[in-house]
Amino acid sequence: MARVAHNRTPHALVAAGVALLLAGSYWGLLKAPREIFMGDVQRIMYVHVPTAWNAMLALSFAFVCAVCFLFTNAWKWDNRLEAAMEMGVVLSLLLCTQGAIWAKPTWGVWWDWDPRLTTTAVMVFAFGGILALRAFVDDPVKRAVWSAVACIVAFADVPIVYFSVKWWNSLHQAQSSPQTVSRAFHWPLRINAFGILFLWTGLVALRARVAALRLQSEIHPPVPEQKSAPAGAPVPGGA
């Protein structure tokens, strides 16, 4: 297997991402005018909405990696899958935390069973479980195949989970979605969205490299040299 290239693009992406995120967050959280009805708490939308988009993107990317791996059996897809799932779980956890921070002052409870957030919480457990599966399987091939299959099955489940929770919840209370952000203030949102996008893309690329290096040590020990062993003599490099 070829040596991993020391491409600097991921680092550039991370740097750009952090810069954009700082700019967008500063703008949205501090400089943009207060929202009339909800007050300062609503400012969290400037990070919450971009996080939501990116969490979904990261998990969708994980799904694509899983499908690609099953079709091509190329290790790079497994490396990316591992990285993308971790990132998806982290972003989803962040999303749930932001949701709780918003919900407490608004509704008085930490969790209001909003369908989107509840689905996100279920996804945290679903993909977290797959990451746990990876930790307990030693054979790299099995680990890759099983986590790809589990990822596809979990992803296929997302719409069903969403619908069932939405339905289940609608019978009890009205929808509570902190969604509307007035037009004039879309810019901080977009800046943050791209900020997080660059950030996670760069991090996933770097994380995939780490996975590739670990995999290299697991599955590519040097092949024993071609030499004819005299009968009976112990052959080094075998055991």
Closest residue by Cα to residue 98 from 50, 139, 59: 50
Q: Which one of residues 12, 22, 74, 133 is an interface residue with other proteins (CB under 8 A)?
A: 133
142 forms part of the interface with other proteins (CB under 8 A) = yes
154 touching other proteins, by CB under 8 A = yes
CB of 143 or CB of 209, closer to other proteins: 143
CB 132 within 8 A of CB 157: no
| Contact between 212 and 24 (Cβ < 8 Å) | no
Max Cα distance, the chain (Å):
87
Work out whether 39 is an interface residue with other proteins (CB under 8 A): no
Q: Which of 149, 185, 194, 206 binds other proteins (CB under 8 A)?
A: 149
Q: Does 235 bind other proteins (CB under 8 A)?
A: yes
Distance in angstroms (rounded) separating the CA atoms of residues 220 and 19: 39
Out of 14, 84, 161, 196, name the contact with other proteins by CB under 8 A.
161
Nearer to other proteins, 21 or 148 (CB): 148
Tokens of 84: 């993308």
Q: Does 237 bind other proteins (CB under 8 A)?
A: yes
Binding residues for other proteins, per CB under 8 A? 70, 122-123, 125-126, 129-130, 132-133, 136-138, 142, 145-146, 149-150, 152-154, 156-157, 160-161, 163-165, 167-168, 218-219, 221, 223-224, 226, 229, 231-232, 234-235, 237-239
